[in-house]
Structure 1
Amino acid sequence: MSVREPLKIRKALLAGMVALALTGTGVAIAWSASDPAPSPSASPSEPGAAKKDKAQRPQHLHSESVVKKADGTFETELSQQGTVDAVSATSVTVKSEDGFSQSYAVNADTRIIKFPAPKADGTPATGEDGKRLRPSEVTIEEIATGETVRVTGVKNGNDVTARNIVEGAGTGPGKGIGKGLGKGMGQGMGKGHGPGKPKESGSGS
């Protein structure tokens, strides 16, 4: 075999590899050109989707649970959302949409919170300064029949004593007593005087 023959074989192999590479690139380019681009799908974060999800949230009407307190004793708690069927200085009766009705005793320890009524367009109520009005703590005299409320109470035998009564904007779907109070009253009351935060002095000493 002459010296030129291996050289010819190498050149043939090199030419074949170059042709194969070019052919593969051409196929890839042709494939990408013929393949249609995927159509964009609707984002779950779109406003319409968010509103739909919020409207479909479950609305908790009433429940009963047993909790263990810090001192080791047990307590039966009730929570309910509904309309005020009857109210007096010492009691309130609430009826839920499914027909469940419960009467609660009201005493000096019952905390009653009322949210300002929203504007006609549904936006939160604001004061003359344009700032959003905060919920306020009221007496049972300011709760009327027909109003929507959320109540939490403690059950003792057949009697239930109301611990919290929330009327107004804090009673929408998916909202609870703790969420409504923490979002409204917690920001407006006791600011700067919480546990571990000393009261500031005006003297500067």
Structure 2
Amino acid sequence: MSVREPLRIRKALLAGVVALALTGTGVAIAWSATDSPSPSPSPSETAPGKQDRKQDKAQRPQHLHSESVVKKADGTFETILSQQGTVDAVSPTSVTVKSEDGFTQSYAVNADTKIIKFPAPAADGSAATGDDGKRRKPSAVTMAEIATGDAVRVSGGKNGTEVTARQIVKGAGTGPGLGLGKGHGKGLAKGHGKRFPK
């Protein structure tokens, strides 16, 4: 046997162990070797109801504010800010937002800033619906509809010390998990879905 044979055997054994672990076969073998199998969960434990999903959503961490650097297609870098909070001050050309932890940021507003308003939810907390029974969609609005105390989610680009808002989202769409590409929600978050009106 050559010196390389034991090395090949070790590699083959290691690959086999990894394959067993990845497929779950190793777990099944280990489970079958135990004396007392664990009880099977009841159907109610394996299929959580709406109440469980609501509780999970309520316990999900809530994004308040962040700053990140992105590399654009042309190779340049840009600093992006995003924040959720309430409007502390507002004018036709700026908005100041304060997050729950006390962080405050002012954003310049210009003609390119998209301002979106989500319809208020129904009294029971369900999605707002129109007279036709269909779910009401977010709509484009102006700065005149943003007021002190409004719940908003803002994203913008930072240049030096100034931050210019690219998007301001007001209303029901500012809750946990929605908006501004944070990886949760539908349409707003995953980089696909419906575009909001300009």
| TM-score normalised according to structure 2 size | 0.71
Identity %: 72
116-125 or 74-83, larger mean C-alpha shift: 116-125
1:98 maps onto 2:111 in alignment? no
2:87 to 84, 89, 104: 84
Q: How does 1:11-30 map to 2 (within 5 A)?
A: none
- AA in 1 matched with 2:109: V
- AA in 1 matched with 2:68: S
CA contact (8 A) 1:114 1:136 kept: yes
- AA in 2 matched with 1:108: A
Spell out structure 1 runs of 4+ moving beyond 6 A. Answer: none
- CA 1:47 to 1:181, structure 2 compared with 1: closer, same or farther past 3 Å? closer
What 5-or-longer segments of structure 2 have no aligned partner?
Answer: 1-38
Quick one: distance in 2 between partners of 1:180 and 1:162?
22
- CA 1:119 to 1:175, structure 2 compared with 1: closer, same or farther past 3 Å? same
Quick one: distance in 2 between partners of 1:39 and 1:123?
35
Q: How does 1:181-200 map to 2 (within 5 A)?
A: 182-183=187-188, 186=194
What 5-or-longer segments of structure 1 have no aligned partner?
Answer: 1-37, 191-205
**SS of residue in 2 equivalent to 1:186:** coil
1:147 maps onto 2:155 in alignment? no
Q: Indicate the structure (1 or 2) with the bigger Cα radius of gyration.
A: 1
1:57 to 56, 60, 75: 60
Which residue in 1 is equivalent to 2:114?
Answer: 111
For this pair of structures, how many residues does the alignment match? Answer: 155
Which residue in 2 is equivalent to 1:48?
Answer: 51
Which residue in 2 is equivalent to 1:130?
Answer: 133
- AA in 1 matched with 2:108: A
Over the residues paired in the alignment, what is the CA RMSD in angstroms? 2.6
1:167 maps onto 2:170 in alignment? yes
- CA 1:141 to 1:62, structure 2 compared with 1: closer, same or farther past 3 Å? same
> 1:39, CA displacement in angstroms?
6.8
1:156 maps onto 2:164 in alignment? no
CA contact (8 A) 1:170 1:180 kept: no
- CA 1:39 to 1:71, structure 2 compared with 1: closer, same or farther past 3 Å? closer
**SS of residue in 2 equivalent to 1:65:** strand
CA contact (8 A) 1:61 1:80 kept: yes
